Amino acid sequence: MFEEISPTSEFIRKDVRSRFISEFNITDEKDLVLLDNIINKRIPDNINGSYLSEFSWRGYLSFEVNKSHVRSIRLEFNALKILKKYLTPVIIHRLYRYPDGLRYKALKNRFEYEAFKADCEMKL
């Protein structure tokens, strides 16, 4: 029985999450949300609810499939953290810089329209 039943994807997600948090001391709430999104993407559900149908519990624990998941999730987690740290400020600057930002003109028009509308309502 122990060799015929495989771990469910939900169990593997919880196991990988707990190992990742304990190994890399993740405490920030935003990092935990990012971690959960990566884990859900990397470890999908299968039709029968079992993720590793070719592995039994013994195979899962013996071959340390968990460690390979942690390594791949760590790579993606670090890559996304670096992108968020360095690329996000550049994108925000490009969107809202004065006078030729990509969103600046649309926001300016909307603000002027709302101000005009409020001014007209005050005069009535």
φ, ψ at 96 (rounded to 5°): -115, 10
Residue 36 pLDDT class (50, 70, 90 cuts): very high
b/e map 46-65, b = 16+ CB within 10 Å: eeeebbbeebbbeebeeeeb
pLDDT digits (tens, 9 = 90+) for 2-20: 566 777 788 888 988 998 9
**Residue 35 has what pLDDT?**
93
As a whole number, mean pLDDT of residues 54-68 equals 73
Give the largest CA-CA distance in the chain: 81
Residue 76 pLDDT class (50, 70, 90 cuts): very high
State the amino acid at position 49 in one-letter form: G
Residue 37 has pLDDT above 90, yes or no: yes
As a whole number, mean pLDDT of residues 47-54 equals 52
**Residue 47 has what pLDDT?**
46
pLDDT digits (tens, 9 = 90+) for 77-107: 999 999 999 999 999 999 888 888 888 888 8
CA dist 3 → 6, 43, 54, 59, 110 (Å):
8, 21, 11, 8, 64
Q: Of all residues in the chain, what percent carry a pLDDT higher than 70?
A: 86
- Mean pLDDT over the full length of the chain: 83
Domain boundaries, the chain: 9-123
